[in-house]
A = this chain, B = another copy of it.
């Protein structure tokens, strides 16, 4: 079911199976989660994770130039938070993930996760059953957003 809304289009889902996975070391978190989503037939879903990364590339989206700026994190960090969703892009499961990383003093770097090399990552992934949720190019932002 999809309903128009002053606050945005609301897509309704039912909960389905849930996965707990400890990702393999040295894999990329985004690639691993995407592969798991594909294998589990997850076309719409939600994920959280905690753990630690060996290194990462974060993105900050410039809201004026409509381009991502990259932030290189080339040292080990705790993954203090990781939130994401799964939807379709070009017909394939696509993971959109944001993280907060913390160094040995507890200081943080955060943003859109472009790449994250896993030291340890305990991922909780939920499959949602409902309408097809497809990303399409959005003129206003230049981003791929859920279609209206």
Contact = CB atoms under 8 A, between A and B. Distances in A.
B21 A11 contact: yes
Contacts of A81: 80-81, 83, 98, 100, 110
Interface in A106-123: 106-112, 119-120, 122-123
Contacts of A88: none
Q: Classify the secondary structure of A's interface with B.
A: strand
B12 A14 contact: no
A90 interface: no
Copies in the complex: 3
A80 B109 CA distance: 10
24 contacts: A6-B24, A7-B24, A8-B27, A18-B130, A20-B128, A20-B133, A46-B124, A50-B84, A59-B78, A73-B106, A78-B110, A78-B112, A79-B98, A81-B110, A83-B83, A100-B100, A100-B102, A100-B108, A102-B109, A102-B110, A106-B110, A106-B111, A120-B143, A122-B146
Interface of A: 5-15, 17-25, 27, 32-33, 35-36, 39-40, 44, 46, 48-50, 52, 54, 58-63, 69, 71, 73, 76, 78-85, 87, 96-112, 119-120, 122-124, 128, 130, 133, 140-141, 143, 145-146
